[in-house]
């Protein structure tokens, strides 16, 4: 399918109709995006403005391997804080020999590293959980994911400077935003195991203290002036507006570690207490083109989308397969971007459709042979939806 035919395939009305019907499995690679989708000077489809939660239309998402900032999803639990860069200090405290309070200039004196990594919200594809049984929360489609070039100091270098004590096991992060929940107001927080925090491999550090995104300072929505980026982990561990790092012998007691980002069946207090926080994203893939509900002519069509590896060090995507006959036969997709353990891979596939084709399906297989599951178990908070992605077509 060439760009002109893709662009003509999507009318503004179809786009909006599909979006509001919850079926935005669109395409439009390289096509012009209808201006009606513009929101807040970006090209995002807004779920809520305060706090800001927005995702790109899928066609935008697979236009390039690096996601431009204006097409990068925004997931905030509270309002975006205004931060004075001159008086800003990042503190490092807890089980360290020498606590730190670093200005931005001091942070800039650490060796700077550039890392390309995909950030994915644990709630990406939640709307598909909701089709099994309703789940509360932002009804993300397949666009709560983006791949960016991040730049900043490695967390391991800061921790080395502060001197981690022997009893340390976890590293907590705290942002400058205030989140309201259950009548209480508190800062958003994250936590990662010390082993991850201390990784300083060339391919990607365990965590980066990013001040730049795609060669520009972070925007306010994405965490200005500094955020953590934790390659391979759910987006919630990449804390925006980072102001405090605490080294501890246990995971952070912050609500978003202790209660929220957990896999639970019904969400009882007992289940929440018994389950560990989620860290890694699972193997996943999605079709971004053609759009859900697209009218396809019988013949060979081009399908495009993304596949995400599981964030396990050393494991990347090996194969992506597409089916037009309910999974009876599969066509191998062409991987159009490089394999990397912490980045998505874009792909395209040619497949034959006929008048009986009801849907397109995609699944990914990784370098250790793990296959994306056909179905997933429903969970009360709607996290980590990674079943085969089905796109209904006419």
Distance, CA of 77 to chain centre = 15
- String marking each residue 73-102 x if it binds ligand MTE according to CB under 6 A: xxxxx-------------------------
Binding mask 216-235 for ligand MTE (x = CB under 6 A): ------x------------x
Please tell me whether residue 282 binds ligand MTE under the rule CB under 6 A.
Answer: no
Q: How many residues bind ligand MTE (CB under 6 A)?
A: 18
Chain centre to alpha carbon of residue 195:
22
CB atoms within 10 A of CB 4: 10
Nearest C-alpha neighbor of 122 from the set 238, 236, 220: 236
DSSP conformation class of 22: T
Give yes or no for residue 262 binding ligand MTE (CB under 6 A): no
Q: Is residue 344 within the footprint of ligand MTE (CB under 6 A)?
A: no
How is residue 43 written in tokens?
A: 């090209």
CB atoms within 10 A of CB 197: 26
Site for ligand MTE in 170-209 (CB under 6 A): 175, 177, 188
Region near ligand MTE per CB under 6 A, out of 71-79, 159-167, 273-281, 362-370: 71-79
Q: Among residues 238 and 284, whose Cβ is nearest to ligand MTE?
A: 238
CB closer to ligand MTE, 31 vs 190: 190
Cα separation, 331 vs 290, in Å, equals 16
> Could you identify the residue written with the tokens 């390039």?
64
Nearer to ligand MTE, 175 or 251 (CB): 175
Task: Give the CA radius of gyration of the chain.
Answer: 21
Q: Show contacts with ligand MTE in window 104-123 (CB under 6 A).
A: 119, 121
Residue 69 or 199 having the CB closest to ligand MTE:
69
Under the binding rule (CB under 6 A), the answer on residue 148 touching ligand MTE is no
**H or E element, residue 20:** helix 12-20
User: Which one of 241, 279, 344, 347 is in contact with ligand MTE (CB under 6 A)?
Assistant: 241
Exposed, middle or buried, 8 (CB in 10 Å: 0-12/13-18/19+)? exposed
Residues that bind ligand MTE (CB under 6 A): 72-77, 119, 121, 175, 177, 188, 222, 235-236, 238-241
């Amino acid at each position: 399918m060439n760009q002109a035919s893709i662009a003509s395939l999507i009318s503004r009305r179809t786009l909006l109709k599909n979006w509001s019907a919850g079926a935005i499995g669109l395409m439009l690679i390289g096509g012009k995006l209808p201006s009606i989708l513009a929101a807040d000077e970006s090209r995002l489809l807004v779920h809520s403005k305060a706090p800001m939660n927005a995702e790109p239309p899928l066609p935008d998402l697979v236009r390039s391997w690096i996601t431009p900032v204006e097409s990068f999803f925004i997931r905030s639990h509270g309002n975006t804080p205004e931060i004075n860069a001159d008086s800003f200090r990042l503190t490092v405290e807890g089980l360290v020999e020498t606590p730190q309070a670093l200005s931005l200039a001091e942070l800039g004196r650490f060796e700077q590293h550039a890392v390309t990594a995909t950030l994915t919200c644990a709630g990406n594809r939640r709307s598909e959980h909701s089709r099994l049984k309703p789940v509360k929360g932002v009804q993300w489609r397949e666009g709560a994911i983006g791949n960016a070039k991040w730049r900043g100091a490695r967390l391991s270098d800061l921790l080395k400077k502060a001197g981690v004590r022997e009893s340390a096991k976890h590293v907590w992060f705290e942002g400058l935003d205030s989140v309201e929940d259950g009548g209480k107001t508190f800062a958003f927080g994250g936590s990662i195991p010390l082993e991850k925090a201390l990784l300083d491999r060339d391919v990607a550090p365990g965590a980066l203290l990013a001040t730049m995104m795609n060669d520009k300072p972070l925007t306010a929505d994405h965490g200005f002036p500094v955020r953590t980026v934790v390659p391979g982990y759910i987006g919630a561990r990449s804390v925006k507006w980072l102001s405090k790092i605490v080294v501890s012998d246990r995971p952070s007691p912050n609500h978003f570690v202790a209660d929220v980002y957990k896999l639970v069946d019904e969400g009882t207090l007992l289940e929440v207490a018994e389950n560990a926080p989620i860290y890694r994203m699972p193997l996943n893939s999605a079709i971004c083109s053609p759009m859900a509900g697209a009218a396809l002519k019988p013949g060979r069509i081009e399908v495009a989308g993304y596949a995400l590896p599981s964030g396990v060090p050393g494991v990347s995507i090996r194969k992506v397969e597409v089916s037009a006959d309910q999974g009876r036969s599969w066509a191998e997709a062409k991987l159009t971007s490089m394999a990397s353990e912490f980045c998505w891979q874009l792909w395209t596939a040619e497949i034959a459709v006929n008048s009986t084709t009801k849907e397109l399906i995609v699944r990914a297989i990784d370098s250790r042979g793990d296959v994306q599951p056909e179905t997933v178990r429903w969970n009360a908070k709607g996290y980590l939806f990674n079943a085969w992605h089905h796109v209904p077509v006419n």
